[in-house]
Amino acid sequence: MTILLGANAVGAVAGIAFALVGGVRPAALSESATPTAGERFYGWMYATRGVPLGVAALVAPLAWPGPAAALVLCAAAAAQIGDAVIGVATRKTTMIAGASLLTAIHAATAVATA
């Protein structure tokens, strides 16, 4: 259980970091030479979802183990499924792998803490 909580914490912090990078430097994630206004807009939209959800996924299993934590972690896993699907659509293998791994970690932690 401790290893799973640790993996969840590391994954949540990584998700927060990528969300912040998406907001502050969208070209780093989109691989564009110069980000467009749309990329900057969607980068900030991603950050406004990713940071609070990442913080919740980090804190919930430690602060409120049980159904509340499981619900938060299921929401985080669902968001990661969406990110993996976007990775498939854009053929970004690192996005597919990272989001799929975080989906599995969040889901396993949800089951373990419920």
Q: For the segment 69-100, what is each residue's pLDDT rounded down to a tens digit?
A: 999 999 999 999 999 999 999 999 999 999 99
pLDDT of residue 9: 96
29: pLDDT confidence band, cut at 50, 70 and 90?
A: confident
Give the whole-angstrom CA distance, residue 100 versus residue 72: 17
Mean pLDDT of the chain: 92
Return the HEC string of the chain: CHHHHHHHHHHHHHHHHHHHHHHHCHHHHHCCCCCCHHHHHHHHHHHHHHHHHHHHHHHHHHHCCCHHHHHHHHHHHHHHHHHHHHHHHHCCHHHHHHHHHHHHHHHHHHHHHC
Q: How many domains does the structure of the chain reveal?
A: 1
For residue 22, the enclosing domain spans 2-113
**Model-level pTM?**
0.87
Asked if pLDDT for residue 28 goes beyond 90, the answer is no
